[in-house]
């Protein structure tokens, strides 16, 4: 009925269903861990997951899988592979007496030491509770007790179907905290809400990984800008040190390119993660509660400046690279023009030397005419004397005197013809003799 499938059809169709949210009953507890994993450690991670599955008698995830879920005793376990990090979500029904106590979190349902044995570095660790909402929002003192007295932000989510609170702080147990109060959220909505909160925290931290790089590069970028401004002033002054300036510009360009190559991946990732945070914040559909700062506003005041700092550092580096290229092109053009002037002067000097050589050659030719006439006249004189001695009535001196003008004219004509042949362009070889022509 259909043509053959594209090799990627099924994989691309399933991509929209990748990493689905888990339905979550109320009340429940959840734990989330985001671990930054190097590509070389991916196989160790898979082996660690396989050992957990084997311990519970389950099949491990497929080698090409990017997400995996399983029931591990009293908890639901979910693993998700992202580009740079892996996310682990643990869900546990019930609220418990102290939901944020270490032995009552959802992560406590995993085998002891399993999370600590994961390869990679922890970027985010978070615990969350989903509880029924009271008739009125909790008082500030009640919220403060849940978050160890820290400043709490939050608001209504899902168009008022629930409430979400957090302080975005890492508590003494090494994890941040989230509280979601359910008014009318369905199990799927509750799962999506909690997943969005965890992803906001993970993407926020991944975006902020670029901030230390931007702060470290900022002083050096300022120095490079000042150095480029000084070089540009020297170029405008035309001090005659073009080659030295070009060498310095080349060194400056190499340093800028090195800074770009070591930072652009992180800066690009910062932009991408920041956009994902903004998308997840919009998906929360948050509305303000009296006396409480919304999560979106908190992010706008804290994360946006950090992302802008990274974007500014990246843009300044790119601008520096473009400006150095323009200055190098300008200086190279000036060096080329100077080289052309030197070449023109050299050609003019060569032309003057050629004219001098021609004059010298003409002088030598005149002397050579006199020498040739002298030797030819001498030969004629010897011949005349020999003929006179043989009995001929000749006067050698008179004969030599009469021969000198004729010899001089003949030598001059011969030299002129030779010079004319030398100055004529080479003629291409013509075809052979025509047929029938001797």
Q: CB under 8 Å, gap of 24 or more: what pairs does 245-252 form?
A: 245/331, 246/328, 246/331, 246/332, 246/335, 249/324, 249/327, 249/328, 249/331, 250/328, 252/224, 252/227, 252/228, 252/324
Cα separation, 255 vs 268, in Å, equals: 20
Question: C-alpha angle with apex 330: 329 to 332, nearest 5 degrees?
Answer: 65
Within 10 Å of residue 359's Cβ, how many Cβ atoms?
10
Q: Is 67 left (phi over 0), alpha (psi -120 to 50) or beta?
A: beta
- Collect all residues with Cβ–Cβ distance below 8 Å to 88 and sequence separation of at least 6: 32, 33, 34, 35, 77, 78, 79, 80, 115, 118
Cα separation, 366 vs 295, in Å, equals: 104
In tens digits, what is the pLDDT along the chain, a chain of 438 residues?
Answer: 789 988 888 878 877 777 778 899 999 999 999 999 999 999 999 999 999 999 999 999 988 888 899 999 889 999 999 889 999 999 999 887 787 888 889 999 999 899 999 999 999 999 999 999 988 888 877 888 888 888 899 999 998 999 999 999 999 999 999 999 999 999 999 999 999 999 999 999 999 999 999 999 999 999 999 988 888 887 777 666 777 888 888 888 899 999 999 999 999 999 999 999 999 999 999 999 988 899 999 988 889 999 999 999 999 999 999 998 888 887 777 777 777 777 888 888 888 888 888 777 767 777 777 788 888 888 888 887 887 777 777 777 777 787 888 888 887 788 778 777 766 665 555 555 544 444
Distance separating the N- and C-terminal Cα atoms of the chain: 86
Cα separation, 173 vs 313, in Å, equals: 35
- Report which secondary-structure segment, H or E, holds 402: helix 396-423
- Collect all residues with Cβ–Cβ distance below 8 Å to 299 and sequence separation of at least 6: 200, 204, 277, 281
Cβ atoms 55, 111 nearer than 8 A: yes
Cα separation, 106 vs 149, in Å, equals: 23
Within 10 Å of residue 125's Cβ, how many Cβ atoms?
20
- Look up residue 347 and give its two tokens: 């050609």
Per-domain residue ranges of the chain: 20-187, 211-345, 357-420
- Look up residue 418 and give its two tokens: 């030779």
Cβ atoms 178, 197 nearer than 8 A: yes
Angle of the 295-389 helix axis to the 211-237 helix axis, nearest 10:
40
Distances (CA, A) of 45 to 88, 107, 119, 120, 199: 12, 18, 6, 9, 21
Find the DSSP H helices in 209-294.
Answer: 211-237, 242-284
Q: Are strands 121-132 and 176-182 parallel, antiparallel or unpaired?
A: parallel
Cβ atoms 166, 179 nearer than 8 A: yes
Distances (CA, A) of 368 to 355, 362, 363, 378: 19, 10, 9, 15
Query: Of the candidates 84, 53, 85, which has an alpha carbon nearest to the alpha carbon of residue 68?
Result: 53
- Burial label for 371, CB within 10 Å (0-12, 13-18, 19+), is exposed
- The dihedral formed by the CA atoms of 222, 225, 231 and 234, expressed in degrees to the nearest 10: -90
């Amino acid at each position: 009925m259909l043509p053959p499938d594209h090799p990627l059809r099924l994989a691309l169709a399933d991509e929209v269903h990748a990493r689905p949210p888990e339905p979550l009953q109320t009340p429940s507890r959840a734990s989330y861990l985001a671990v930054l994993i190097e590509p070389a450690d991916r196989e160790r991670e898979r082996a660690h997951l396989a050992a957990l599955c084997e311990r519970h008698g389950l099949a491990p995830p497929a080698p090409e899988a990017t997400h995996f879920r399983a029931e591990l005793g009293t908890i639901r376990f979910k693993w998700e592979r992202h580009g740079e990090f892996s996310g682990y979500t643990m869900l546990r029904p019930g609220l418990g007496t102290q939901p944020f106590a270490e032995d009552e979190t959802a992560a406590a349902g995993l085998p002891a030491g399993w999370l600590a044995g994961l390869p990679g570095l922890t970027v985010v660790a978070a615990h969350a509770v989903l509880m029924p909402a009271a008739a009125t929002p909790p008082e500030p003192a009640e919220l403060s007790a849940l978050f160890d007295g820290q400043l709490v932000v939050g608001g209504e989510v899902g168009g008022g179907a629930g409430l979400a609170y957090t302080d975005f702080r890492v508590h003494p147990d090494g994890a941040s905290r989230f509280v979601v109060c359910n008014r009318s959220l369905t199990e799927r909505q509750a799962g999506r809400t909690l997943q969005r909160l965890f992803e906001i925290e993970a993407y926020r931290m991944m975006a902020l990984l670029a901030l230390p790089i931007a702060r470290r590069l900022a002083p050096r970028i300022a120095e490079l800008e000042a150095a480029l401004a000084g070089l540009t002033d020297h170029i405008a002054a035309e001090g005659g040190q073009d080659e030295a300036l070009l060498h310095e510009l080349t060194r400056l360009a190499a340093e800028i390119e090195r800074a770009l190559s070591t930072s652009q991946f992180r800066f690009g990732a910062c932009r991408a993660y920041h956009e994902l945070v903004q998308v997840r914040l919009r998906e929360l559909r948050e509305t303000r509660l009296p006396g409480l700062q919304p999560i979106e506003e908190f992010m706008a005041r804290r994360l946006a400046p950090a992302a802008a700092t990274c974007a500014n550092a990246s843009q300044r580096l790119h601008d520096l690279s473009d400006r150095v290229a323009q200055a190098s092109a300008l200086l190279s053009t000036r060096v080329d023009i100077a080289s052309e002037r030197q070449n023109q002067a050299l050609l003019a000097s060569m032309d003057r030397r050629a004219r001098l050589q021609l004059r010298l050659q003409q002088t030598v030719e005149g002397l050579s005419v006199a020498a040739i006439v002298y030797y030819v006249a001498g030969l004629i004189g010897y011949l005349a004397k020999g003929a006179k001695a043989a009995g001929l009535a000749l006067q050698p001196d008179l004969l030599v005197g009469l021969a000198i003008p004729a010899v001089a004219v003949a030598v001059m004509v011969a030299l002129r013809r030779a010079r004319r042949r030398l100055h004529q362009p080479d003629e291409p070889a013509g075809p052979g003799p025509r047929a029938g022509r001797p």
